[in-house]
Structure 1
Amino acid sequence: MPTPAPQEVAVYISHTRITDPGSMSAAYRGLPDDIEDLVQVTQGLLLHVHWAQRYGVTPSEEQKGHVQARLVSRILEIVMDLDGSPLTIPRPLERRFYGNCRDYSVLLSSILRSKGVPARARCGFGTYFRPDHYEDHWVCEYWNGERWVVVDAQLDELQRGRLKVDFNTLDLPKGRFVNASEGWLRCREGGEDPDKFGIFDMRGLWFIRGNLLRELAACNDAEMLPWDVWGLMTDDIGDGSLAERYALLDRVARALVEGDEAKITSLYRDEPGLSVPKEMIVAGQ
């Protein structure tokens, strides 16, 4: 049995609408308990759509559409429709779910929560994809009884080799992954260049702001898609000046960096422009 977690951590055991496997929960039966084994299971079911060609696979248009699956239950439906084998059986590359870093992180979080282990997906930036750059990325955190352990479930042997990774991706050293909240404060208060944060041709403080709200939402039961947009992600939403809105986002970032669960919850609940509209979650599939 997992070690009982502190109250502020235990909230990450119950499923969210996103992580709930729903009618697909039976697929989790027989899964291993060890984190390394669970990451291997996840990697055997998914293939990152933007890495596919490095594996010698060209995704079809249908496969490219897998990333629109918002709910873990839908991810599992696609996985099992493609191959009905137990989840412990790695799928051939052409019969995998073609997802992205968010999908690896949310699926692993779902499996861990189903085992009674506090887990959550975190939105931010990886430092190990390009030199002197913070790449848009998601990871999974789980509570090991003493602390939050950061896991990059996406990085399999091929990717670790291509990226020349020389650290433990099952327990990322501090600073390898930068939560969006930390990135926001580095740029707002620490003099870091916002243009180092992003992906493809998208970069800057506006991009960090979007990931900051996604990080906040993911810590409040709403692990959204990387391209979902709402509220203060845009400059023309809400009352008050842009400076006032940025001051609010500074408060959000500090609460997340400090791990102040009460503030994380109250800010999301009470401040306009922060919470995900219910219809965006209800419409998820």
Structure 2
Amino acid sequence: MNVENKAAAWIAQSQFTDPGAASKAIDELPADLAALREACSRLVIHYRAGGDFAANGVPAERAAEIHTCYADAMLGLLLERGAPSLSRDRAPADLLVGCCRDATVLFLALARHKGFPARARVGFASYINPGWMIDHVIAEVWDQAAGRWRLIDPEMSADWTPELNGRRADWLDMTDDLFVTGPRAWLAARAGRDDPARYVVSPELDVPVLRGWPYLAHHVIHDLAALNRTEMLLWEGWGMQLGHGPGPVPEADAALLDEISAATADPGVAPGTVAEFAGRDGLRVPATVTRFDPYGGPPCEVTLRDAPSL
């Protein structure tokens, strides 16, 4: 594959997307983005939106699978449940309990293994709950023929294609009104072009730090880390973001987030620019991060694998 230099940095696997021994199962899939996306859309059951665990045949103790942050471990769990294939139909009990981030990490593992430059983007979707911008993670893949980055949603079923602004969603080529990256959302709110209160994990989830300004800041930081091939769980925090409470972000932090967002809102941002921002104090992902529990349990400290960057 003849890949332009500006995209080549995103072919290599990260410590999160390296499939390890599961690469043999990926070899059985075609080197086709549509097929890879379709496979990933049938691998994850969402820990909140996927329905009752018991009704789906998922034992309660498997709720903790949401913390399975590495692709090799995720793929290992999937391949030991029933026939060891990534393309077969699966009962809910054979799926991985996770979220959009996990579907995206699995897609990156597959796409990078096939030689596609691909990266995660952390942002907000307008198509999940109309009127709201819902916390979401999707993939961005280099389209060599078109000479551009293409947004792909690996989580959504092909059977569901909502309409927005008179167009049907195309999960293989998302428009920028359907998905807004964290830096683009931050810039829009800072410029007064959008209401920060619309940006949430869920409208029903009344947790002040998971909506509005602190969550917009969270997504700028997580998107930067993802661009730097450090695809963190969304409920992991470090550095600057741990100091952000409800309400507006401190102006010194906001000014830095403005600078980051001005660079990373552009899909053509250079790998060196990403690495420079991601290496700064307060933004650099440390060896140990704080993991919060979406189920309401106490936070804990988690040590990561060694983290190569761009």
Task: Calculate the TM-score normalised by the size of structure 2.
Answer: 0.83
Per-residue CA deviations over 1:120-160 (Å, capped at 9, x if unaligned) read 11100000012221100000111110111111111104544
Answer whether contact 1:27 1:86 (CA < 8 A) is retained: yes
CA 1:58–1:166 in 2, change beyond 3 Å: closer, same or farther? farther
Q: Distance in 2 between matches of 1:155 and 1:179?
A: 17
Answer whether contact 2:162 2:169 (CA < 8 A) is retained: no
State how 1:144-223 maps to structure 2 within 5 Å: 144-145=143-144, 146-160=147-161, 166-200=168-202, 201=205, 202-223=210-231
The amino acid of 1:20's aligned partner reads D
Partner of 1:105: 104
Aligned: 1:250 with 2:271:
no
Identity of aligned residues (%): 27
SS in 1 for 2:265: helix
User: How large is the RMSD of aligned CA atoms in angstroms?
Assistant: 2.6
State how 1:1-285 maps to structure 2 within 5 Å: 2=1, 4-53=2-51, 57=56, 59-145=58-144, 146-160=147-161, 166-200=168-202, 201=205, 202-235=210-243, 242-258=250-266, 259-261=268-270, 262-269=272-279, 271-280=280-289, 283=304
Q: Distance in 2 between matches of 1:187 and 1:162?
A: 24
CA 1:126–1:58 in 2, change beyond 3 Å: closer, same or farther? farther
Residue 236 of structure 1: how far off its partner (Å):
6.7
Residue 168 of structure 1: how far off its partner (Å):
1.0
Q: Distance in 2 between matches of 1:40 and 1:54?
A: 24
Q: Distance in 1 between matches of 2:200 and 2:244?
A: 22
Q: Distance in 1 between matches of 2:102 and 2:34?
A: 17
Deviates further, 170-179 or 24-33: 24-33
Answer whether contact 2:68 2:74 (CA < 8 A) is retained: yes
Residue 35 of structure 1: how far off its partner (Å):
1.6
Deviates further, 115-124 or 169-178: 169-178
SS in 2 for 1:53: coil
CA 1:54–1:37 in 2, change beyond 3 Å: closer, same or farther? farther
The amino acid of 1:150's aligned partner reads L
Q: Distance in 1 between matches of 2:193 and 2:169?
A: 27
Q: Distance in 1 between matches of 2:177 and 2:167?
A: 14
Residue 81 of structure 1: how far off its partner (Å):
2.0
Q: Distance in 2 between matches of 1:165 and 1:107?
A: 28
CA 1:245–1:129 in 2, change beyond 3 Å: closer, same or farther? same
Answer whether contact 2:152 2:174 (CA < 8 A) is retained: yes
CA 1:190–1:5 in 2, change beyond 3 Å: closer, same or farther? farther
CA 1:151–1:110 in 2, change beyond 3 Å: closer, same or farther? same
In structure 2, stretches of 5+ residues that fail to align are 290-301, 306-310
Residue 82 of structure 1: how far off its partner (Å):
1.8
SS in 2 for 1:28: helix
Per-residue CA deviations over 1:8-62 (Å, capped at 9, x if unaligned) read 2100001110111123222212111222211121123222222322896264323
Answer whether contact 1:42 1:108 (CA < 8 A) is retained: yes
The amino acid of 2:178's aligned partner reads R
Residue 162 of structure 1: how far off its partner (Å):
11
Deviates further, 162-171 or 217-226: 162-171
The amino acid of 2:102's aligned partner reads D
The amino acid of 1:272's aligned partner reads D
